[in-house]
Chain A
């Protein structure tokens, strides 16, 4: 699985037409995607694809953009304390937070380009960032326990949900994780669903009421997997 880059280079969305050529169930939806979206970046399918795609796109929007980076940094500056307040040990998470903030500074400086971000996004960096995203997600869920507890189906508590479905590095993100992380980061994201259901691809917006100066990120969801997708 590590053969595939954590976040791949941009490729045309039209490539999906080839991939689904033999699959009539998806034909209509793929055409809709090709009409609306220009290119996509494939994320490594190891369970962390939502976290890395979303973070990558956030950093991508801050490339060489001081204003955005400043607004985002202001929102995140107390994030480590926030996570400690729900019970994480400082020693266990501070390196992840530091890496996250260092990358923020490195990509937002004048002259940084997408290539800067791609180069900095090594496998090691990817692990640190994904881990930080998971910690943030858990911390938000735990802090807003009352809002989330009623949505649990297979878990007895938010604490247990986080220990089993958020913190472990191979667990996939679903509605609750996306809601929590996007609420914490305050960067709008739309998940576009490509599945066998009728009609055009369904879209679900998260954190679209954010006041941070970001444009909505789009993630293409196919059962069990997320990739980044960019509107025309």
Chain B
């Protein structure tokens, strides 16, 4: 056993099932479980799709699963450098409705990653949201689920 991190047993059966399935098809769709920073979190590496502004770029998403997952949404942020994108803040917060008001228990880690990748793919230019500086100064690194989000257009 080298330095490989032990895979934790998540109390939520659904989390366990989802991560096992993601591991079984590691790398498919540019989505790959990276590691488990603590007993309630998992980091997932996503790869920008070919032919898009982010082609070949790797990003790290951190999922934190609340006890009531999947009835409550996971907390999802970019860690260690977030993509320059009109709906992604420099503190890693993502403006995507399914992570907040429009979350559904029928969504999965995989579905969330696909939505985020699709959001990256449809970007026209690499820019930060207009209110990036003020938003990040205001919320810092607290949970994005505490922010009041306005969703103009999920697709871009």
Contacts and interface: CB of A to CB of B under 8 A. Distances in A.
Contact of B111 (A89, A127, A138, A168): A89
A92 B71 contact: no
Nearest to B105: A131
Interface stretch (B38-46, B59-67, B94-102, B127-135): B94-102
Interface in B86-123: 97-98, 101-108, 110-111
Contacts of A170: 101
B17 interface: yes
Nearest to B98: A163
A86 to B, nearest CB: 11
B141 interface: no
A92 B97 contact: no
Contacts of B71: 127, 131, 169
Given A89-B110, A92-B111, A168 B18 contact: no
Interface string A126-156: 0100010011001000000000000000000
Nearest to A170: B101
A37 interface: no
Interface centre among A92, A93, A96, A127 (most CB of B within 10 A): A92
Nearest to A124: B71
Contacts of A92: 14, 70, 105-108, 111
B21 interface: yes
Contacts of A127: 71, 105
B113 to A, nearest CB: 12
B25 to A, nearest CB: 12
Contacts of B108: 89, 91-92
B104 A169 contact: yes
A172 interface: no
Given A89-B111, A92-B111, A127-B71, A167 B106 contact: yes
A215 interface: no
Nearest to A138: B106
A163 B102 contact: yes
Interface string A192-204: 0000000000000
B21 A168 contact: no
A25 B34 CA distance: 61
Nearest to B104: A167
Nearest to B71: A127
Interface in B45-80: 70-71
A96 B13 CA distance: 13
A134 B106 contact: yes
A164 interface: yes
Contacts of B21: 91
A95 interface: yes
Contact of A95 (B14, B98, B104): B14
B17 A91 contact: yes
A203 to B, nearest CB: 31
A167 B102 contact: yes
Contacts of B107: 92, 167
Interface of B: 13-14, 17-18, 21, 70-71, 97-98, 101-108, 110-111
22 contacts: A88-B106, A89-B108, A91-B21, A91-B108, A92-B70, A92-B105, A92-B111, A95-B13, A96-B105, A131-B71, A131-B104, A131-B106, A134-B106, A135-B106, A138-B106, A164-B97, A164-B102, A167-B102, A167-B107, A168-B101, A168-B103, A169-B103
